[in-house]
Structure 1
Amino acid sequence: MLDDSEFTGDHVWWMTSRGASPIIGTAIHNGHAVRENLLSRMALHEDGRLREEDPFTAEIIHDLANRIVFQRSRFEIDLNRARDAAVYQRPEQAWGLKVWREALSDADLSESLALHDAYYGMLENYLRGVEAQYGAFVVLDIHSYNHRRDGAASTPTAAADAPDINIGTISMDRARWAPVVDAFMDFCADYDFLGRRLDVRENVAFQGRGEQTRFIHERFPASGCAIAVEFKKIFMDEWTGVPDWQAISALRSLIASSVPVLESALREVA
């Protein structure tokens, strides 16, 4: 398996690994790098950028045989937005944040959008290979979300609105993939996470409306089950960026341990 440390640096777009399994993990908001000609033109400071990215999601999928990790920041190009909205040009596209000191040129936009195009071209080819080998596959589209948006000392979002794990399924044929999704949710809910059970619910904080799951279900309607998995940032301080490595290790173990469950459920459908 590839060592992530070999794939860091501003010149790297993404890293991939292929192995003997129909289960794939992606971390498309893990990246923090921004290409040099854009970085100096950003109005948004680095801490603010990091707060809305999904750090450590690459670590959570590290033990999967098949994984895709995007290394660029979502503030350069957001792969989980449709192409025409993938570059945040106005504050309302980016949680009210002013990203750029001045409007980006057409050339700047074209360069970023070319990366969006290249990624989805790569993704389709990658998944075609898995499909050819196994007939069907599951993508765990791993993300994370903030729950203390009003400040480090603020009251967190009410638990009723913020499950530990939010499963997004809105773009899939839910009835077809029920054996896979239900098995995964049951496994996560029953998992011993540092001495407690996790709150796992479907389509509460997010519904799985991102571009990647939509793309997969459109291109692979009979063979691709893409599950949007949003971890509440219970594994880090969302304001300082400091990780809780014990929690990250536990989530990494959860994802790794889910593979045989997912493979077994996938055989029911396929």
Structure 2
Amino acid sequence: MFDPIKTYCIISSMNLQGGNRFFFEFSGEEGFLSEEESFHLVKVLRKHQGDKILLINGKGKEFEAKYKEIIKNGKSFKVKVKILRLTREEKQRAPKIIGILPILKGDKTEWLVEKSTELGVEVFVPFYSTFSVAKPSKNLIPRLINKAKQALKQSGRLFMPEILSPVELNTFLKDFPWRDSLKLVGGLGSSLNIENLKTEIKKAHTIVFITGPEGGFEKTEEDMLNEIGFLRICLSPYILRAETAFLALASIIGFLTLSLGLKG
């Protein structure tokens, strides 16, 4: 029997290669897709009652389910589904990867959450600092959560990343919560070569990484990062855009943890 715990899920077509996936919230063995996801399932994918689909709970499990019926309410409707069996289970990866993410102008922060979710980042901490161009908006976190969900739909990850509330960098660093982690900061200088980095990653239970906003880090921020023990990684001989630097460091960490067999 399926454990009747309220949970957020993804639902997908049975064709995982390029298949579309959808989130929904339900209790027990049966539940409803949201109106938006129901529309996509019925009108875009043209699925029919009785079709088999996949549900992913965002906590490491995937289930086979059946599209039962459509419940209409005026012009809107929702699709009801029933879980049939567990089809796939995934372990939480190790080491845990945490990205301290600069809040950037436009939709760049959302784009970074989407791409970094695909790469395996498990916790995002959006920050603004002295030289930040953009500050957090009221709807930032819902937008970032939505992008993370979209990334899970596309990539097939079974764990939903955690997205924390925005922080002011200096305040956050004064009470930094992951002092025992491997801490990495992207920049032009470097205190680690690739062999050193591989050695450090093999020993790490948690990896925390950060790159600067459009205006870079202010000196007191750099001093605090050094004091806490962030190790500098040279990402390029050239000056990178803020979004490029964050994604580059996320890619390096993701590649090394996988190539070293550290995937949980």
TM-score, with length taken from structure 1: 0.29
Larger Rg: 2
Quick check: which one's helix share is greater? 1
Question: Which structure ranks higher in relative contact order (CA pairs < 8 Å, sequence separation ≥ 6)?
Answer: 1
TM-score, with length taken from structure 2: 0.30
Quick check: which one's strand share is greater? 2
